[in-house]
Structure 1
Amino acid sequence: MSIIAFIPVRGGSKSIPHKNIKSFCGKPLVFWTLGALQDMDKVDEVVVATDCDEIEDTILQFNFSKVRIYRRLPQNATDTASTESVMLEYIKKSSLTKDDYFILVQATSPFTQKADIEGGLNLLLESQYDSVLSTVRFKRFLWNNDGTPFNYDFKNRPRRQDFDGKLMENGAFYINTVGNIIDSTNRLSGKVGIYEMPDYTAVEIDELEDWSAAEDIMRRHILKRDAIQTHNIKLFLTDVDGVLTDAGMYYSENGDELKKFNTRDGMGIRLLKENGIKTGIITSENTKIVENRAKKLNVDYLYQGKISGGKLDAAKDICKKESITLQEVAYIGDDLNCFDLLSNVGLAACPSDAVDKVKGIPNIKILNKRGGEGVVREFIDNWILA
């Protein structure tokens, strides 16, 4: 028995062109649901059904190990094609069995968290339900066209806190078995279980007017919570080549080695220091250039060259001096010599062009920018000082 997640994303959206890969709070919209599914231990594979080369290229750059691209047929990627049509198309062409579980997830619901999908899946696995859908509790007083109340007695108007309201689909996810989907040709069938999500998840991004409001909700309810969870960061460390620089090797006519740094990263480190967070550079190279840059940035610690025990031991040494733990450290690196340290700190990140092994570290933040393009500032702004 396998558990497959399925995300249909078309390239032909009319209301918001290419909305599934349009930047939403600093990342392509589809990234948020893919990230939640990638982190789920029970999900074996995440299938993205698309008809668009640009969407495919964007998703592949995330380097999520569970994600696979399925190129949907043109007739099932039109404005009038149903989601069920592409689900059934994929099921027919795949090697899934009728006992496999199928999770339909919408990319336009970026507020969906790993815990939400896990909750819905557990509800199905541990109950007598045949399928499960996500909902929100809608506490509004509704009326019929004929002037009669639909869901309350206006002569005995309840207080909102005493009003049960009604459950409304929020479109975040639907879970069923492959066999049930084939038999019913529908995402839901049989006895349906209800998984209730927070009311703010009712917002779906279908029109351009929804975008700013949805980003505000994301910042207040999701990113702010993540920032609070990482707010105990007391030390920021960074690699140099491939992070503060583009990893290029530049030489003058006299043979002098040159490195290109990004001034925005420097401002980010300054902001950290203003917020009481210690800073440091750990690099395997040993150059005067880096020493000068460290002085310019006024970092608290600089470890260069071959370090006994590698970068992880260097970080532990700093933690000992600061009387903190590795869980209070944020580190950004890009290559194999950063792997051990990235795997042990409380908050880890890497540039978008980091090596695949680094990108595969559980819970690492894969940033949008490449090394040398201001990726350190992106990490600082979006995750440490969010």
Structure 2
Amino acid sequence: MGDTGEILVVIPARGGSKRLPRKNVLPLAGKPLICWTIEAALEAKLNARIMVTSDDDEILETARQYESQGVTAYKRPDELASDTASTADVLIDAVKAEQVAGHDPKTLVLLQPTSPLRNAEDIRAAMDVYREGGCEDTVVTVCEVDHPTAWVGAISEDSRFEGIDLSGKRSQDYQREYRLNGAVYVAGIAGLQKNKGLFTYSLRASVMPRERSVDVDEVLDFRVCEAVFYNQK
């Protein structure tokens, strides 16, 4: 197994959101959406530093409720709060802030707050895949797709549905396929800084169940997560 070195968990959370306004602090099953990710990071017990990076005072104030448990609330520069700011730039800035504070992280764990159903077990599983791969390739969490991509096509201007497999095969006759679910990313910080990007040439996958792979982008996603949490009670 590889040596991860010091681990930095980064939870990036902008204040702006067009399709679901203020989604990162919307109350989900009794607490702001972002709290589910912060608490999952704490429960994973990675012996890591945890940073919430945001441009928004309400989000940062929410994160400060966990300061006694080692969570840092970091206000990112204004230029990294726009729609055009890349995730890689936000992560590099977070790493620089850690280094200025006297820390030297070697491994980055990115947790998007829009994946509230992802739990501590999923985070630890992704870290295990990273270590088993020698800490060289970026690890991404994935889930199995609902339907074969052979059934996905395009619609032309005259309403023709094109590019799909019309062989009549059953879904179970196709090879299993997976998609990124955006819940957990694990990467080496040296590569992130050198390449200005999160992904290595080859990736390793940590598989999560579909029921924990909901990415909150609009109201329907939020309602699905609410239903899952309330059904667990």
- TM-score category (smaller protein): 0.7 to 0.9
Identity of aligned residues (%): 28
Cα deviation for residue 53 of structure 1 reads: 1.5
Which residue identity does 1:218 align to in structure 2? F
Secondary structure of 2:108's counterpart equals: strand
Asked if the contact 1:4–1:43 (Cα under 8 Å) also holds between the matched residues in 2, the reply is: no
- CA distances 1:120-151 after superposition (whole Å, capped 9, x unpaired): 001111224421001111031333337232xx
- CA distances 1:333-382 after superposition (whole Å, capped 9, x unpaired): xxxxxxxxxxxxxxxxxxxxxxxxxxxxxxxxxxxxxxxxxxxxxxxxxx
Cα deviation for residue 214 of structure 1 reads: 2.1
- CA distances 1:65-104 after superposition (whole Å, capped 9, x unpaired): 121011101111112211111111222333154x711001
2:191 counterpart of 1:180: yes
For residue 41 of structure 2, the aligned residue among 37, 57, 73 is 37
For residue 111 of structure 1, the aligned residue among 117, 122, 130 is 117
Asked if the contact 1:103–1:176 (Cα under 8 Å) also holds between the matched residues in 2, the reply is: yes
Secondary structure of 2:10's counterpart equals: strand
Which residue identity does 1:85 align to in structure 2? D
Which residue identity does 2:62 align to in structure 1? T
TM-score normalised per structure 1: 0.53
* Corresponding residue for residue 146 of structure 2: 139
Distance 1:180 1:168 in 2: 23
Greater RCO structure (CA 8 Å; 6+ sep)? 2
* Corresponding residue for residue 226 of structure 2: 215
Secondary structure of 2:44's counterpart equals: coil
2:161 counterpart of 1:157: no
* Corresponding residue for residue 24 of structure 1: 28
- CA distances 1:205-230 after superposition (whole Å, capped 9, x unpaired): 1112322122113334xxx2xxxxxx
Cα deviation for residue 168 of structure 1 reads: 0.6
For residue 85 of structure 1, the aligned residue among 86, 89, 94 is 89
Cα deviation for residue 190 of structure 1 reads: 3.3
* Corresponding residue for residue 63 of structure 2: 59
TM-score normalised per structure 2: 0.85
Cα deviation for residue 9 of structure 1 reads: 0.7
Distance 1:201 1:60 in 2: 26
Residue 16 to residue 144, structure 1, CA distance change in 2 (3 Å): closer
What are structure 2's unaligned runs of at least 5 residues? 155-160
What are structure 1's unaligned runs of at least 5 residues? 225-385
For residue 121 of structure 1, the aligned residue among 99, 118, 127 is 127
Larger Rg: 1
How many pairs does the alignment contain? 217
- Misfit runs of 4+, over 4 Å: none
RMSD: 2.0
Which residue identity does 1:185 align to in structure 2? K
